[in-house]
Amino acid sequence: MQSTLELKDDTSAHDAPMRSPHDHGLHVAIIMDGNGRWAERRGLPRATGHREGIEAVRRVVEAAPDLGVNALTLFAFSADNWRRPALEVEVLMLLLRTYLRRDLKRLVDNGVRLKVIGRRDRLPHGLAAEIETAEKASALGTRLELNVAIDYSGRDAIANAAAGWLGDNSPPRAAFSRLLAWQGHGTGRDVDLMIRTGGEKRLSDFLLWECAYAELLFSDAMWPDFGAAHLHAALADFHNRERRFGGLSVAPLLAAE
């Protein structure tokens, strides 16, 4: 796994970060990449890789709370993924339905509150209703907030929130973050750690607002191979980093006195 370059120092008050009020747990976001390549390397249909990816979702969701994570956001389907072959898109949507139906009881029993972010008007018939049913059924979960991004675009989320803001003045950052979440296109809190599997090193239009000060970690593991041990290692790496949020660390300040 590779870490990102250090953040550039910037002490501007205007650019102060939106610190999360959820001090008791971390918000981890994951770009679940590599399903298709995992299958192709084994001479299997890409659909098999996506099915194995569901198993990885189950492993990570179950492991996250015990590792200090109380919010987990997974990138399941981007707004640009509609460009993929129709058969692959159909498989992905079918797998989403299957996950909602088979795993809802497990999520509820384990105190997981499910929320889907992104557009719903372009989803296959009946899927939006199934999502709403699952969200309502798990609404009382307090152990883990599970956000699943479907037909999601970070750029569109920011643009839509900006268009929906009334008044001439720029909104405070915290208020703008709430507006993103209220429209169903945001999580309402900053990301602490962003993980991308599959060896690629880009954000792919995912949670651009919430990841302003996220630590980034890129794993060569394909998503179907990802599990509790990988998440544990990623979080250990995260806890060894110094997060300055554009400021300076305490040590240099003391040395200058």
Q: Is residue 81 flagged as an active site residue?
A: yes
* Vertex 123: Cα angle to 118 and 126 (nearest 5): 120
The residues, any chain, with a CB within 8 Å of residue 110's CB and separated by 6 or more, are 62, 141, 143, 144
Length of the chain: 257
* Catalytic residue chosen out of the listed positions 33, 103, 190, 192: 33
Q: Is 27 exposed, middle or buried (0-12, 13-18, 19+ CB in 10 A)?
A: buried
The kind and range of the H/E element at 56 are helix 46-63
Burial 192-207 (b: 16+ CB within 10 A, else e): bbbbbbbeeeebebbb
Structure tokens at 11: 């002490």
* Catalytic residue chosen out of the listed positions 10, 66, 81, 147: 81
Alpha-carbon gap, residue 179 to 158, rounded angstroms: 9
Q: Is residue 35 flagged as an active site residue?
A: no
Quote helix, strand, coil % in the chain, to nearest 5: 45, 15, 40
The alpha carbons of the chain give a radius of gyration, in whole angstroms, of 19
Q: Could you list the active site residues?
A: 33, 81
